[in-house]
């Protein structure tokens, strides 16, 4: 088999293709953990809404009364009698506990975690916000562009999943910088996750709760949110570790054969047209070797014929050919 010498352009191409492989063709336990967290979030959210929010809100704000007020409600804050809301405050009567807010709108972290796979399938990096948060990177034009490009697909992703209300709930949240290119929503877009209540701030409508099991269910919903975003963060950490491991090897490698020791099907993913003689890498930790070895066992190829990225060498430089 021919030996291929690496240069900067080839290394960058290898890194890009490896990142795509790790995120899209390498099943890992963290992805299963995220899937379970997504299912748990949806299940707990629906149960909490049906069994706590609906009966409690309709007890404090009877729907028949709300419909009458809504009929005569004006269009501005001075003559409006009702609001539609997905945010509620509750205070337990059975214990000396302060009131808490329970918000069914979604922040961007929850939305990116809930639709990780679908966002990735659109060609975006669903973990981009986690990456910037965890590494404390400064916002830059590239990050802004990625956010804007991603946000254009948010509504279609939720609609294709049969859950357009998720987009409405996210669009309603304070997700500045993530919704500027998204379509507007109306009350009808929220599905069941919206209630007619008297006009005023969320806190001004604080409701007393006399059932401890209802309180525990509300707290379980908050826990489901944390489990969802934590699972997404853990996915990024493990995927990022593999990407960093391989990047280190690619940077040290002089020849493609050096990389192939750890990325065994690299020639199926990236094909180089060059000839040189290789040598082994000298600085690779045992931990890195183990992680990459385990990861390689999980790589799956698409059912379709693999798309090879070919780098053609010429006097004027390199060109990519699919």
Q: DSSP class of residue 278? A: -
Q: Are 26 and 120 in contact (CB under 8 A)?
A: no
Q: What angle do CA 113, 124, 142 make, to 5 degrees?
A: 110
Residue 260 domain boundaries:
8-28+242-321
Class of residue 141 by CB neighbours under 10 A (exposed 0-12, middle 13-18, buried 19+): exposed
Mean pLDDT of successive 10-residue stretches along the chain, which has 322 residues: 85 93 92 98 98 96 94 86 94 94 96 97 95 91 92 94 95 86 84 93 94 97 98 97 95 92 87 44 55 68 46 40 39
DSSP-assigned beta bridge partners for residue 100:
90
- State the pLDDT at residue 285: 58
- State the pLDDT at residue 281: 42
Does any domain span residue 18? yes
For helices 212-252 and 8-24, what crossing angle results, to 10°? 150
* pTM (global) more than 0.85: no
Does any domain span residue 248? yes
**Structural domain tally of the chain?**
1
Give residue-wise pLDDT tens across range 45-62.
Answer: 999 999 999 999 999 999
Q: DSSP class of residue 182? A: S
- State the pLDDT at residue 306: 43
Does any domain span residue 162? no
Does any domain span residue 19? yes
Does any domain span residue 164? no
Does any domain span residue 317? yes
Q: Which two tokens stand for residue 24?
A: 């899209």
d(CA 127, CA 125): 5
Does any domain span residue 281? yes
Q: Are 17 and 286 in contact (CB under 8 A)?
A: no
- State the pLDDT at residue 280: 38
Does any domain span residue 227? no
């Amino acid at each position: 088999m021919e030996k291929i010498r690496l240069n900067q352009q080839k290394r960058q191409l290898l890194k890009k293709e490896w990142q795509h492989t790790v995120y899209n063709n390498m099943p890992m336990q963290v992805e299963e953990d995220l899937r379970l967290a997504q299912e748990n979030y949806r299940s707990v959210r629906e149960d909490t809404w049906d069994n706590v929010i609906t009966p409690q809100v309709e007890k404090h704000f009877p729907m028949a009364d709300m419909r009458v007020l809504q009929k005569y409600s004006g269009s501005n804050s001075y003559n409006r009698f009702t609001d539609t809301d997905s945010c509620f405050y509750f205070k337990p009567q059975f214990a000396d506990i302060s009131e808490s807010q329970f918000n069914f709108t979604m922040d961007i972290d929850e939305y990116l975690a809930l639709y990780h796979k679908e966002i990735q399938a659109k060609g975006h990096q669903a973990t981009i916000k986690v990456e910037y948060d965890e590494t404390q990177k400064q916002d830059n034009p590239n990050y802004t562009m990625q956010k804007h490009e991603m946000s254009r697909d948010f509504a279609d992703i939720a609609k294709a999943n049969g859950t357009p209300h998720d987009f409405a709930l996210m669009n309603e949240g304070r997700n500045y910088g993530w919704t500027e290119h998204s379509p507007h929503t109306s009350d009808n877009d929220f599905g069941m996750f919206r209630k007619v209540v008297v006009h005023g701030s969320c806190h001004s409508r604080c409701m007393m709760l006399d059932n401890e099991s209802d309180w525990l269910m509300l707290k379980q919903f908050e826990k489901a949110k944390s489990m969802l975003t934590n699972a997404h963060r853990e996915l990024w950490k493990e995927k990022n570790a593999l990407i960093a491991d391989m990047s280190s090897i690619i940077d040290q490698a002089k020849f493609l054969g050096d990389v192939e020791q750890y990325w065994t099907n690299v020639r199926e993913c990236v094909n180089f047209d060059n000839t040189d003689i290789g040598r082994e890498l000298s600085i690779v930790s045992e931990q890195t070797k183990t992680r990459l070895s385990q990861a390689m066992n999980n790589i799956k190829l698409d059912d379709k014929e693999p798309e090879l990225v070919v780098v053609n060498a010429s006097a004027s430089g390199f060109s990519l050919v699919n």
